[in-house]
Amino acid sequence: MNPTGGIVLGVSEFVDYLNQTMEMAFPYVELEGELSNFKISKNKWLYFDLKDETASLRCFGTVYSLPGPLEDGMMVRVAGAPRLHPMFNFSFNVQSIVPVGEGALKRAADLLARKLEAEGLFEPARKRPLPFPPQRIALITAGDSAAYADFMKITKARWGGLDIVHHNVLVQGEQSPAQIVAAIKQANEAIDLPGVIVLIRGGGSADDLAAFSDERVVRAVAASRVPTLVAIGHEIDTSLAERAADMHASTPSNAAELLVPDRKTELRQVRAAAQQLDEALRDIVTTRREQIQAVAIRFDEQLQQKLRDAMASVGNAARLLIAYNPRRPLVQGYAMVRDAQGDIVTARRLHPHDRVQLEFSDGSAQADIINSTKDKE
- What is the identity of the amino acid at 197? I
Q: At 235, give phi and psi (nearest 5°).
A: -110, -10
Nearest to 229 by CA among 198, 269, 270: 198
Ordered alpha helix ranges (H), 189-259: 215-223, 240-244, 252-259
46 and 20 within one domain: yes
Question: How confident is the prediction for the chain on average, in pLDDT?
Answer: 84
150 and 252 within one domain: yes
Domain containing 45 equals 11-99
3-state SS, 101-164, equals CHHHHHHHHHHHHHHHHHCCCCCHHHCCCCCCCCCEEEEEECCCCHHHHHHHHHHHHHCCCCEE
187 and 58 within one domain: no
Task: List the 355-360 sheet strands across, edge first.
Answer: 336-338, 355-360, 363-368
Q: How far apart are CA 81 and CA 125, in angstroms?
A: 44
316 and 342 within one domain: no
- How confident is the model at residue 187, as a pLDDT? 95
Which pTM does this prediction carry?
0.59
320 and 336 within one domain: no
Residue 104 lies in a domain: no
Mean pLDDT lowest for which of 139-153, 186-200, 217-231, 306-320? 306-320
345 and 256 within one domain: no
Establish how many alpha carbons lie within 13 A of residue 338's alpha carbon, considering only the half-sphere containing its beta carbon.
12
271 and 169 within one domain: no
Q: At 337, give phi and psi (nearest 5°).
A: -110, 125
274 and 229 within one domain: no
26 and 131 within one domain: no
- Three-class DSSP category at 183: helix
Residue 373 lies in a domain: no
- Predicted confidence band at 246 (pLDDT cuts at 50, 70, 90)? very high
- Three-class DSSP category at 199: strand
Residue 115 lies in a domain: no
- Predicted confidence band at 127 (pLDDT cuts at 50, 70, 90)? very high
Asked if 92 contacts 57 with a C-beta cutoff of 8 angstroms, the reply is yes
- How confident is the model at residue 140, as a pLDDT? 95
178 and 197 within one domain: yes
What value does the mean pLDDT take over residues 33-42?
86
Query: Taking 90 as the threshold, does the pLDDT of residue 97 lie above it?
Result: no
pLDDT tens digits, 314-340:
888 878 877 777 777 776 667 777 877
287 and 179 within one domain: no
pLDDT tens digits, 163-185:
999 999 998 888 889 999 999 99
Instruction: Report angle CA 236, 113, 123 to the nearest 5 degrees.
Output: 95
